[in-house]
Amino acid sequence: MRLMAEAPPLIHLPQLPRELRFAFVEASWHADIVQRSRDAFFAEMARAGFGPDAIDVFDVAGAFEIPLHVQRLAQSGLYAAVVGSALVVDGGVYRHDFVADTVVRALMDVQLKTGVPVICAVQAPHHFHEHVEHRKFLQQHFGAKGTEAAQALLSTVAGLRGLDARR
């Protein structure tokens, strides 16, 4: 696993139209960690020329609620791509690996059914500890994942637009 101190150079991408819109759906649980993903995503999107006015943020309770919101956003026709971000931890009624797997599969289904790219920044550490060191590590990790989510989104949207242009 690689944590980045500073963002790497952007991948060379074809120019994307500035009128494109994107959605970011984040779970409210462990907001101090999950929001690091959003902040890094926004920073990387700004580096690519897409400011905060191009990105709508939607808060949901937890990871389980993300796929339905993502599906509705993808079906709306308003967004070129949608991101889902959450931290899934041990405890509760369901095992964290079950929840994470269910959410990831549902997000994959949404993008395959709608044709709208869905970028997954849902993370499920093997063990979650409430101590300061672990939370600090996860905040850094989520920052890296937010940057990676933006890069994946940009390259996926550009790649699909390139395929569409060949028709």
The string of DSSP codes covering 111-132 is: HHHH---EEEEEE--SS---SH
Total domain count, the chain: 1
* CATH label of the domain that carries residue 123: 3.40.50.960
**Whole-number Å distance between alpha carbons of 109 and 105:** 6
Binding residues: 29, 63-65, 87-89, 134
What phi, psi does 61 have (nearest 5°)?
-60, -55
* Residue 6 is assigned to a structural domain of this protein: no
Binding-site positions for 5-amino-6-(D-ribitylamino)uracil read 29, 63-65, 87-89
Binding-site positions for (2S)-2-hydroxy-3-oxobutyl phosphate = 134
Give me the catalytic one of 95, 105, 135, 161: 95
pLDDT digits (tens, 9 = 90+) for 42-85: 999 999 999 999 999 999 999 899 999 999 999 999 999 999 99
Q: How many residues does the chain have?
A: 167
Establish whether 95 is a catalytic residue: yes
Going by pLDDT thresholds of 50, 70 and 90, the confidence category of residue 94 is low
Residue 8 lies in a domain: no
Judging by beta carbons within 10 Å of its beta carbon (0-12, 13-18, 19+), is residue 160 exposed, middle or buried?
Answer: middle
The predicted-structure confidence for 13-53, as pLDDT tens digits, reads as follows: 568 999 999 999 999 887 788 889 999 999 999 999 999 99
Q: Please tell me the predicted confidence (pLDDT) of residue 49.
A: 94
| Position 74 in a domain | yes
